[in-house]
Amino acid sequence: MNKKLIITFLLGLLLLFVAACGSSDDGDTEEADNANDETEEAADDTESTDGTDESGDKEVYTVATDNAYVPFEYLDEESGELVGFDIDLITALAEEAGIEIEIETLEFSGIVAGLGSGKFDIGIAGMTITEERKESIDFTQPYYEAGLILAVNEENVDEIKSIDDVDGKVVATRVGSTSEEYLKENTDAKPEAFPEIVEAYQNVLAGRADAVLYDLPNVQYYSEKEAGGKLITVGEKLTGEDYGIGFPKGSEIRDKIDEALTTLKENGTYDDIYEKWFGDRPEGT
């Protein structure tokens, strides 16, 4: 009897020991690991089928921009690379928001439509926030305050002193831009809209057009850096033109990018990028 008891006791001890070893032996953890693996696999599956990760976010977002809008986005003459204020800004915003982006360039006039149809996820191209565009795409808060300005060939400064003098004149601009719209709605000028704004400037410089109407930062940059002082801005800055970053309607990353923009405006990153491309910021902006 005693022996039996001892054996039972020992067996019991042995069982306890094995059980204890079992748990320290990763038995349970392994099961948990397997479960994790499965979740990971499930997530992997989603990744491979629709390019999203487990949180439903896409891995790489396509950014549509232009390649001929100094100094916001243009091809650097020496390196051939796409550079500019918008490029630096969207790169910093993507980093802040923790997303990956891939930049694609196309004609400016195709960007709003491409966002509207969901072909691109993000659009940044010195694009003015307008009521009309808001019908088909969503925007962030404004990230740059521009405005339109008229410019003429240096020989024309006495004839065209402001927008009030353009009636009946040929005024060049870019197709699909807010300037084209402005000319049609507010003046009796003869608008001539080119696919690339550089063509508009060249026509004015060659005397084939009387003036050009376009976004002030672009006109200023072109006239200083490219036109050797022969393209002169005249009159006051017209209209407020707030630039916004565009998205397809209802986009899930608009808010993320908008929050990142607020952060970059607050932490000085926005100012650094601004100063790199435009010099010191004017007071109160």
Residues that bind ligand ARG (CB under 6 A): 66, 69, 73, 108, 125-128, 177-178, 215, 241
- Give me the residue label for tokens 């994790």: 36
- Give me the residue label for tokens 């990956």: 100
Q: How far is the CB of 204 from ligand ARG (least distance, A)?
A: 17
Q: Any bridge partners for residue 102, and if so which?
A: 62
Q: How far is the CB of 69 from ligand ARG (least distance, A)?
A: 3
Q: How many residues does the chain have?
A: 285
Cβ-based nearer residue to ligand ARG, 140 or 178: 178
Cβ-based nearer residue to ligand ARG, 27 or 240: 240
* CB of 197 closer than 8 Å to CB of 176: no
Cβ-based nearer residue to ligand ARG, 61 or 72: 72
**Exposure string (b/e) for 38-55, b if CB count within 10 Å is 16 or more?**
eeeeeeeeeeeeeeeeee
**Closest residue by Cα to residue 150 from 235, 239, 229:** 235
**Exposure string (b/e) for 173-199, b if CB count within 10 Å is 16 or more?**
bbbbbbbbbbbeeebebebbbbebbbb
Q: How far is the CB of 280 from ligand ARG (least distance, A)?
A: 23
Cβ-based nearer residue to ligand ARG, 62 or 263: 62
Cβ-based nearer residue to ligand ARG, 73 or 96: 73
Please give the single-letter amino acid code of residue 285: T
Cβ-based nearer residue to ligand ARG, 26 or 102: 102
Q: Give dist(CA 235, CA 242) in Å, integer.
A: 20
Q: How far is the CB of 151 from ligand ARG (least distance, A)?
A: 15
Q: How far is the CB of 143 from ligand ARG (least distance, A)?
A: 12
Q: Give dist(CA 245, CA 262) in Å, integer.
A: 13
Cβ-based nearer residue to ligand ARG, 133 or 169: 133
Q: Give dist(CA 31, CA 22) in Å, integer.
A: 12
* Strands 231-243 vs 137-139: parallel, antiparallel or unpaired: unpaired
